[in-house]
Amino acid sequence: MNQLFSPLQRRVDLAIAPPFALGGLRVCPNALEVHGPDGVQTLEPRVMQVLVALHQARGEPVSRDELSELCWEGRIVGEDALNRCVGRLRKALSAEPLAVIDTIPKIGYRLRVAPPERAVVEAPLAAPAPARRGPRIAVLAAAGLAAVAVLGAGAATWNHLRPAAAWSAEGMRPLTADPGVESHPALSPDGRFLVYSAGPGFYGRHDLFLRSVNEGAPLRLTGDPAHEAAPAWSPSGDRIAFVRVSDGEPCRIVVLPIPRGAERTVGRCSIAGSTGLGWLDERTILLADRSSLSEVSRIRALDVETGALRDVTRPRAGSLGDSGPLPSPDGRGVVFRRSYSPGVQHLYHADARTGAERPLTREGWKALSYAWAPDGRTLFYNTNRGGDFGLWSLDTRGSSEPKRVSAGLRPAMNFGRLSADRTGRLAVETYNHRWNLFTFGGTGEPAPLTASTGRDWDPDVAGHGGLVFISDQSGSPEVWTRPEGGEPARLTRLGASFVQTPRWSPDGRRLVFILDRDGQTDLWLMNADGSGLSRVTRDGAAKVDPVWDAEGRALVYAEQRGAAWRLLRVSASGGEPVPVPGGAGFRALRPGWDGALYGLKTGDDRLWRLPRAGGVATMVSPTFRVADGWATGPLGVYQVRGGYTRTPSLWLRTWSGEERKLADLPIVAENPSVAVDPRTGALVFPRMLRDESDITLLDVRSRT
C-alpha cells in the first residue's frame, strides 16, 4: 500500500474511531467497550487505542515505535507499559479464540483474526468388498461418465459458483474540497470526468458542475433558480440526465449534452419531489415515482424521445415502495432499494423487461447508495450494517454474506452516495455533519443544550425538565437523556439500524421509542434510567409518532402499510393494537395542549384535530398549512419552514388563528424535529453546526 495512505500515519482518536468486529466480539472504541458472549468489558483508553491501532493495520505487524507514535503521541514509552497494555488486551480478547495478538520478536505486535476451521465429517470405514472385476469396471465407467457430465456443467457455471472476491481500497485522493456541500457524484463511464451537485449547504439551491478527474477547474453546467441534483451519465458518455427540483412541485427530468449543449426536459415526475436516476439504455431513464397518492413509489422507465412511462417494479403489499434505481452493466436488469420503514430496507434485482425479482439482502439495514464493480457481479454499497455507515461488497450471483470493504485509509470516513467507472474506481461522498440541540424562547439567540461531536435530533422535554433525544455520537443511533442542568448520558446500546421519536410518559418515569432492528419496526418501552427495556408491539410494520394517553397507560401511534396510514392504540403493557375511531389516513401525530391529538393526513398539509379517544376529526383551518418540523405548544403550533430555495424560518400560529414569523434559522438541521418545553413554552430544535460534504476518489481492487 502507498505509505501516503497508510492507516498508521496519525494518532488514534477514539472519539471518531468506528465500531468493528473481531470474530464474535464487537469493539466500540468511543465507548471503550468490548461486547462479547460474557457481557461488556470496559478498557482503559490507552489499551483501547492500542487495540484500534493493531486493528487498523489489517493483520500487518506494528512496531513499538509506531504504537508509541499512534497511542502515546510520540512520547517515549517504557517496554513495561506497552507489555501491560498488550497483556490486558489479550485478557479482554480471551473470549474469542480466533482473535490472537502475536508478539513479533524485536519488532512489535500483530493482531490476527483466524478464519474458523471447517468441520470435517468422516464417513466410517467400510469392510473391503470382495473383488468382482466386471461390476467394478462398470461402476468406474459410470462414475467416470457422471464426472464428465458434472465437469461439463461445472465449466458452464463456474463463474456463477466461484467464491466472491474480497475488495480493498488501495488509494484515495480528494476530487473536491470547496466550502459547503459537494454531493451526488457521477463518474463518466471511462472515468475521465466527474459531474456533481454543489451549493453552500444542505439548504439552498445547488447547481451541477463538471470537472476532469485528473486536473483543471470545474465548469458550471447549470444556473437555474431551481435545485439540481442526481446527475447520471448515458451509457455512451455523451449526455447526462439530472433532476430539477422546485419546492412544492413534482420534479423534472432534464437531459444535457456534455461538455456543452442545449438542455432538454424529457419528462416530469407524477408525484415525487425528487428521485435518483439511471440510464437503462441510450433512450431509457430509470427513476422512482408513483402515478397517484394511493400507490407507493416504484421504479419506472422513461422514454426520453416520447416521454412515455412504464412500471418496472411492482412493490409488494405492505412495503413503503422502491427507490434508488441502478441499471446492471448489461442493461438487462436494475438494482433497487425496497423500504419497509425508515430504518428497514432490502436490496433487490429485477429483470428490466419481465419484472422478475430476487432479493440481494435480507437483514434490513439501510442501503444509502450502491455501484457496480468492474467484474459486473459485485455490488459496492453504503450501509449501516454493523452500526456505522461504511462501504461493503455484495456478490449478486452467490449466497455469501456481504463483506466490509477494507478502506483503512483514514479513521471514521463517513461514506455517502457512490458512483463507479469501468476501471474499478469509486467517487464517494465523504461527509462531516454535526447537529446539536438548542432552545429558543422567541427572542434573542438560541442557547445550546447539547455539545456532541455527532448528530442529535428527535428531542422531547418532560415536565421535570429532563431532555430525551436521539444521537449518533457513539456510532449508531441511541437514546440519550440530559437532566436539567446536568450532562447528557447514553441510555441504550442497541446497535440498531434506526431509533426514533423517544417520548416521555406523563409522569416522566418512562420512555417510549420506535426501534428498527432485525427487519422489524416496533414500539419499545424502558424506564427513565434505561432499565426495564421491553417490546410493546410485535407486528413489525412501519410506525411513527407515538403519543401517550393522559394516564400513561396506553399509546397512540401512526402506522403505515403500503400507501395506507391509520392510527392505532395499544396498551403500554402490550397486547393487540386496535384502530382509533376516525384515525384513518393520519400520517403524523402530536399531543395537543388541550388534551386532543393533532395530526396531518395523507396527501394533505392542513392540520386536523382529533379527540384522544377517537371520533370525528375536524380541520383546524383551511388556510393553515404545516410542513417540515412542527410541534404544539401552549401558545399554538410551532413549525420550521424551509426548502431548497427558501431560508428556513420559525413560525408560530396561535390557537386564536394569528400567524407570525419568530426568527430566521439559516442553520437549522435538515429534516428538523422540534419539541416544546412544557414549563416555559420554549422551542427545542436541532441546529446545524457543521455541514460539509466533499467527493473523494477511491481506487478499489480485488484481493483474490
pLDDT in tens, 42-83: 888 889 999 999 988 878 888 888 888 888 776 767 777 888
What pLDDT is recorded for position 121?
Answer: 33
> Among all chains, which residue has been given the C-alpha cell 474511531?
17
Is the pLDDT at 108 greater than 90? The verdict is no
In angstroms, the CA 326 to CA 394 distance is: 14
Is the pLDDT at 5 greater than 50? The verdict is no
Question: What cell numbers appear for 198 in the block?
Answer: 454543489
End-to-end CA distance of the chain: 16
Q: Which domains occur in the chain, in start order?
A: 3-113 (1.10.10.10), 163-432+693-702 (2.120.10.30)
**In this structure, are residues 610 and 582 in contact, taking their beta carbons and an 8 Å threshold?**
yes
What pLDDT is recorded for position 457?
Answer: 94
In angstroms, the CA 237 to CA 328 distance is: 16
> Between 641 and 185, where is the model more confident?
185
Q: What CA–CA distances, in Å, run from 423 to 216, 342, 549?
A: 21, 34, 58
What pLDDT digit, counting tens, does each position of 285-329 carry?
Answer: 999 999 998 899 999 999 999 999 999 999 988 899 999 999 999
Q: What CA–CA distances, in Å, run from 361 to 335, 336, 377, 403?
A: 11, 11, 14, 12
Instruction: Point out which residues pair with 26 in neighbouring strands.
Output: 21, 35
User: Radius of gyration of the chain from Cα atoms?
Assistant: 28
What pLDDT is recorded for position 585?
Answer: 95
In angstroms, the CA 371 to CA 381 distance is: 6
Is the pLDDT at 623 greater than 50? The verdict is yes
Largest interatomic CA distance in the chain: 103
What pLDDT is recorded for position 18?
Answer: 75
Residue 342: band (very low, low, confident or very high) from pLDDT cuts 50, 70, 90: confident
In angstroms, the CA 150 to CA 148 distance is: 5
In angstroms, the CA 632 to CA 635 distance is: 8
Is the pLDDT at 502 greater than 50? The verdict is yes
Average pLDDT over residues 184-189: 95
What pLDDT is recorded for position 580?
Answer: 96
**One-letter amino acid of 635:** L
Mean model confidence pLDDT for the chain: 84
What pLDDT is recorded for position 259?
Answer: 81
Please give, one letter per residue, the 3-state secondary structure of 321-370: EEEEEEECCCCCEEEEEEEEECCEEEEEEEECCCCCEEECCCCCCCEEEE
Is the pLDDT at 489 greater than 80? The verdict is yes
In this prediction the pTM is 0.74
Residue 341's contacts (CB-CB under 8 Å, 6 or more residues apart) are 320, 498, 516, 521, 541, 542, 543, 560
**One-letter amino acid of 425:** R
What pLDDT digit, counting tens, does each position of 556-608 carry?
Answer: 999 999 999 999 999 999 999 999 999 999 999 999 988 899 999 998 889 99
Question: What cell numbers appear for 587 in the block?
Answer: 400520517
**In this structure, are residues 272 and 290 in contact, taking their beta carbons and an 8 Å threshold?**
yes
Is the pLDDT at 214 greater than 90? The verdict is no
Is the pLDDT at 371 greater than 90? The verdict is yes
Judge residue 528's burial from the number of C-beta atoms within 10 Å of its C-beta, 0-12 exposed, 13-18 middle, 19 or more buried. buried
Ramachandran area for residue 332 (φ above 0: left; ψ -120 to 50: alpha; else beta): alpha
Is the pLDDT at 153 greater than 70? The verdict is no
CA angle 208, 213, 218 (to 5 degrees): 40
**In this structure, are residues 56 and 411 in contact, taking their beta carbons and an 8 Å threshold?**
yes
Average pLDDT over residues 363-384: 90
What pLDDT is recorded for position 77?
Answer: 72
Is the pLDDT at 433 greater than 90? The verdict is no
Nearest to 13 by CA among 37, 60, 42, 45: 45
Q: What CA–CA distances, in Å, run from 46 to 11, 89, 275?
A: 12, 10, 46
What pLDDT is recorded for position 87?
Answer: 87
What pLDDT digit, counting tens, does each position of 246-289 carry?
Answer: 888 899 999 999 988 899 999 999 999 999 999 999 999 999 99
What pLDDT is recorded for position 183?
Answer: 94
> Between 223 and 163, where is the model more confident?
223
**In this structure, are residues 539 and 548 in contact, taking their beta carbons and an 8 Å threshold?**
no
> What is the share, in percent, of the chain residues with pLDDT greater than 70?
87
Question: What cell numbers appear for 119 in the block?
Answer: 468441520
**In this structure, are residues 475 and 387 in contact, taking their beta carbons and an 8 Å threshold?**
yes
What pLDDT is recorded for position 80?
Answer: 77
Average pLDDT over residues 220-242: 94
Is the pLDDT at 117 greater than 80? The verdict is no
Judge residue 76's burial from the number of C-beta atoms within 10 Å of its C-beta, 0-12 exposed, 13-18 middle, 19 or more buried. exposed
* DSSP three-state, residue 150: helix
- Which H or E run includes 631? strand 630-632
What pLDDT is recorded for position 306?
Answer: 94
In angstroms, the CA 681 to CA 511 distance is: 21
By mean pLDDT, which of 137-141, 483-487, 542-546 is the weakest? 137-141
In angstroms, the CA 113 to CA 105 distance is: 20
**In this structure, are residues 692 and 700 in contact, taking their beta carbons and an 8 Å threshold?**
no
> Using the 8-state DSSP alphabet, how is residue 31 labeled?
G
What pLDDT digit, counting tens, does each position of 649-692 carry?
Answer: 888 888 888 888 888 876 776 667 899 999 988 999 998 888 88
* DSSP three-state, residue 79: helix
